[in-house]
Structure 1
């Protein structure tokens, strides 16, 4: 897996501080060690054989905006996928884990689920239906899609992001079957 470092110190510090304010992990320390790396591969390298992943909405929702990694530090990109859905749609845990955030972060209503392998799912804009500390299985309801203005306005959509530390990953890569490579007999 090739990773390109992107120094988003300010974003990482702000996000860490916001998560700490709502009872999650402490913020990342400031300085050169705080960096954001974007996984550009989209490969099955993200997959963990022990974790079953599913869409965070019923069925197979339409992908309104795909994951678009930023080309560099502070550059625009889309650090998750937007899934078309109506306000009030039930939002499901995309994999088993523990709810670490159920409230507003930087003014946006969000639910964060910590999964095995150090991955975290962020789901927004949502109204949480589970408390912080709740243990959930893949497919358990965790929220409903809220009417808060989002970047899909005027249509409704759920933004699903996945991070490992401060590395943004393509959530849809978790749903793809692993790539099989046949090797020659030696």
Structure 2
């Protein structure tokens, strides 16, 4: 991992809404879970591919080239694109940015109220933070 997830203090605040993973230029981008390609197109100056997973989460990958077309169904491990060798997202090396959005509590559909979450939580590589009480009643 080149850079980790940094949750912003507020939805509009600065942060790093995903993880940057080292990958060779032109390397295959693989689907982390089954899903359907719901977006494959240019955002600002780079191509982005977005998968919607059965649980409503959305995974986005950038910068990519040769993405699968919208409507393509994929399984975990399927090649969905290649890392774009013309754009260097990370400053010192080529890397893939993977962002995950999940339905916010109380949102009516998966397409509204999406909040960014740490992709590594989905892989079981990190555990969510848990706040514990402190004081005289707390026994560690």
TM-score by shorter chain over 0.5: yes
One of 120, 125, 132 as aligned partner of 2:58:
120
- How far apart, in 2, do the equivalents of 1:155 and 1:141 lie? 22
How far residue 177 of structure 1 moved from its aligned partner, in angstroms, is 7.1
SS in structure 2 at match of 1:71: coil
Aligned ranges 1:16-55 → 2 under 5 Å: none
Q: State whether residues 57 and 101 of structure 2, in contact with CA within 8 Å, keep that contact through their aligned partners in structure 1.
A: yes
Q: Which residue of 2 aligns with 1:174?
A: 122
- How far apart, in 2, do the equivalents of 1:171 and 1:143 lie? 18
* TM-score computed with the length of structure 1 as normaliser: 0.58
Q: Mark the runs of 5 or more structure 2 residues left unpaired by the alignment.
A: 103-112, 128-140
Q: State whether residues 69 and 78 of structure 1, in contact with CA within 8 Å, keep that contact through their aligned partners in structure 2.
A: yes
One of 81, 86, 89 as aligned partner of 2:27:
89
Classify 1:127/1:151 alpha carbon distance in 2 versus 1 (closer, same or farther; 3 Å). Answer: closer
Find out whether 1:105 has 2:43 as its counterpart: yes
RMSD of aligned alpha carbons:
1.9
How far residue 105 of structure 1 moved from its aligned partner, in angstroms, is 2.0
How far residue 139 of structure 1 moved from its aligned partner, in angstroms, is 0.4
Q: Which residue of 1 aligns with 2:6?
A: 68
Superposition misfits of 4+ residues, deviation over 4 angstroms? none
Q: Mark the runs of 5 or more structure 1 residues left unpaired by the alignment.
A: 1-62, 180-186
How far residue 65 of structure 1 moved from its aligned partner, in angstroms, is 0.4
After superposition, what is the alpha-carbon deviation per residue over 1:2-58, rounded to whole angstroms, capped at 9, x for unaligned? xxxxxxxxxxxxxxxxxxxxxxxxxxxxxxxxxxxxxxxxxxxxxxxxxxxxxxxxx
- How far apart, in 1, do the equivalents of 2:50 and 2:75 lie? 14
Aligned ranges 1:153-164 → 2 under 5 Å: 153-164=91-102
Higher helix proportion: 1
After superposition, what is the alpha-carbon deviation per residue over 1:125-183, rounded to whole angstroms, capped at 9, x for unaligned? 0013411100000000000000243440341000000002420011000011797xxxx
